[in-house]
Amino acid sequence: MVSLIIGLASGVFGGLVGLGGGVIMIPLMVQFLGLGQHKAHGTSLVALVFTGLAGTFTYARSGSMDVIAAILIAVSAVFTARWGARFANSLPEWKLKRSFGGFLLLVSVIMLLKPYITHGDAAVTGVLKGAVLIITGVFTGFLSGMMGVGGGTIMVPAMVLVLGFGQHLAQGVSLLAMVPAGSVGAYTHWKLGNVQIGLLAGLIPGIIIGTYSGATLARYLQDGTLRVVFAIVLVWTGIKYLRTRKPQAT
C-alpha cells in the first residue's frame, strides 16, 4: 500500500509539471520504505520503464511521435545506461546521495526555465540532426542509468532548443527512447542487486494512474505556481542530499 501511494504521488507530480516521477519516487522510497540509495535508483528505473510504455502509447495516438529520432537516441543510450548503472553501483552511498542532490537542483532550474524554452531559431537537419540525437542519447542514457530516472530532463530541452521539435513531440520521442534505454539500465541494476522487486506491484500501477491524473489536473491549475512550489520542494530535498556526511573511518 505504501509503494502504491508513493507511485501515485510520483506520477501526479510528473503529470502536473511535465517531468519524470523518479525525482520524487526515489526520495520517498528512501524516506518511507527505508531503501538504500542504490536500491531506490534501480527500483525507480524499472517502474519508469512501464511509465514510458504507457506514455508512448498516449503520445503516439495523438501523432506526437518521431520513431526515427527515438531510435537514434536509444541506439547510444542503451550502451551508456549500462555504464551509468554500473557507475552508480560503484559509488559509496554518501557519494551517490550527493550526486542525486546535485541532480535535483539541476531539475529544479530546468523546471523553472521550461516556459521559456521555445523552438530553436535555426533547427539542424540531416546528418547533423542525427549526430545531435545520438549525442543526446549518450548523455541521457548515462544519466538515466546512474540516477534512476527517465532522462527526459535532458532529452526534451535538447530536442526543443537545438532541433526545433515542438514540446509535445519532444516529450513523445523522449518517452519512446527511454523504454529500451531504461530497460537496459534497469536490467543492469537488477543484476547488481539494486531492484526491490516486491515494491513494483504497487509502484507501477500507482505511477501510471498518477501520471494520467496529474496531467488531467494540470489543465485546471496555474502552471507557474505549480512549478515554483515543486521547485522549492526539489531545492530543499536536493540541499538535504548534498549535505549527506561522509561516514567517519573506524
How far is the C-alpha of 204 from the C-alpha of 218, rounded, in Å? 21
pLDDT at 122 over 70: no
- E strand map for the chain: none
Indicate the pTM of the whole model: 0.86
> What are the pLDDT digits (tens) for 44-79?
999 888 888 877 877 787 777 889 999 999 999 999
How far is the C-alpha of 106 from the C-alpha of 113, rounded, in Å? 11
For residue 19, give Cα distances in angstroms to 128, 130, 155, 214.
Answer: 27, 24, 11, 11
Give 110: exposed, middle or buried? Use CB within 10 Å, 0-12, 13-18, 19+.
Answer: middle
How far is the C-alpha of 40 from the C-alpha of 26, rounded, in Å? 5
**How many C-beta neighbours within 10 Å does residue 24 have?**
25
pLDDT at 120 over 60: no
| 119: Cα within 13 Å, side-chain hemisphere | 9
Closest CA to 27 of 36, 19, 18: 36
